[in-house]
């Protein structure tokens, strides 16, 4: 029916509610779909589904099967380090695990050195990416990492046409409190292990964190007291500080160096992870902000 003369039609005020998002796939559903895509030759489409299945059930049979399939797919893509990392996360016999771990040691030795591997990139310094800073920003790494793995003595003397190795992969850190050990993983392959000190009286929580802040030569800000400058005997942070993003439960924690080398291997800090200065400097160079840290008992 038409509106009365002189009156404009009015728009409906009924609001159509948006459709609810689909429920997340279970580990079994993600595995089933990923496996079907893999068999159909659609490996790139299968990868995120298999990743989902693994993360949803890392220790179960579904996750273990997903890890094995991910290893096969990355091997086919020419990514041996990623493939090996997923094999390490899959169910293996004792004999096969020993063989994989032996190969992992070889890959670990090469990962942080100047020799390129199929998993990594080699970029050429050019007109656009003409500094290590520009290359680091483009590829989600750090200038210090590029400098270290390429043995570059002076970041200001990078020349056009120079070949730069860039690590392409995901780094994460695992701290095992009982062993006083920190392990750096690259694509699930352990590449460096360091001795650490932890908090006294269980002050270091078993929890997960993300590195948010990186400060060389850090000052220390004790609660309720003036800042203590870097280099002061009262500053316990050593030469580097990597602060964790605060969580709902914990704040003020991180990884740092120490001048008290005898505290490494002991539970004597106020909750942070302590490292020898030379070793925390290496770790600081290698890991970017956003690196995931897991602390276990």
Residue 55: its pLDDT value, please?
Answer: 92
List residues bridging with 216 in a β-sheet.
Answer: 240
Residue 122 has φ and ψ, to the nearest 5°, of -120, 115
Q: What is the pLDDT of residues 167-194, one digit of tens each?
A: 988 999 999 999 999 999 998 899 999 9
Residue 116: its pLDDT value, please?
Answer: 82
Could you tell me the pTM of the whole model?
A: 0.83
**7 has a pLDDT exceeding 70:** no
Q: Are 287 and 140 in contact (CB under 8 A)?
A: no
Residue 41: its pLDDT value, please?
Answer: 94
Q: What is the pLDDT of residues 236-252, one digit of tens each?
A: 999 999 999 999 999 99
Residue numbers annotated as active site: 256, 272
- DSSP symbols for 64-93: HHHHHHHHHHHHHTT-HHHHHHHHHHS---
Percent of the chain with pLDDT over 90: 64
Residue 10: its pLDDT value, please?
Answer: 56
**What's the average model confidence in pLDDT over 59-73?**
94
Mean pLDDT of the chain: 90
């Amino acid at each position: 029916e038409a509106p009365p003369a002189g009156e404009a039609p009015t728009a409906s005020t009924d609001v159509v509610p948006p459709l609810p998002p689909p429920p997340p796939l279970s580990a079994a559903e993600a595995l089933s779909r990923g496996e079907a895509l893999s068999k159909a030759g659609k490996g790139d489409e299968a990868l995120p589904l298999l990743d989902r299945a693994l993360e949803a059930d890392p220790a179960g049979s579904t996750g273990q099967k997903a890890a094995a399939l991910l290893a096969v797919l990355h091997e086919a893509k020419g990514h041996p380090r990623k493939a090996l990392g997923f094999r390490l996360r899959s169910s293996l016999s004792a004999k096969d695990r020993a063989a994989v771990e032996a190969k992992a040691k070889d890959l670990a030795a090469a990962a942080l050195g100047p020799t390129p591997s199929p998993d990594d990139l080699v970029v050429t310094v050019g007109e656009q990416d003409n500094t290590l800073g520009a290359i680091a920003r483009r590829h989600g790494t750090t200038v210090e990492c590029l400098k270290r793995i390429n043995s570059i003595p002076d970041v200001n003397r990078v020349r056009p046409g120079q070949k730069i190795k860039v690590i392409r992969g995901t780094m994460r850190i695992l701290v095992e409190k009982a062993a006083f050990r920190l392990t750096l993983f690259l694509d699930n392959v352990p590449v460096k292990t360091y001795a650490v000190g932890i908090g006294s009286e269980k002050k270091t929580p078993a929890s997960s964190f993300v590195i948010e802040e990186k400060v060389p030569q850090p000052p220390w800000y004790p609660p309720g007291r003036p800042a203590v400058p870097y280099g002061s005997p009262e500053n316990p942070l050593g030469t580097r500080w990597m602060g964790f993003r605060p969580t709902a439960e914990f704040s003020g924690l991180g990884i740092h160096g120490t001048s008290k080398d005898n505290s490494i291997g002991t539970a004597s800090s106020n909750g942070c992870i302590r490292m020898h200065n030379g070793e925390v400097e290496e770790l600081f160079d290698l890991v970017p902000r956003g690196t995931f840290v897991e602390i276990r008992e």
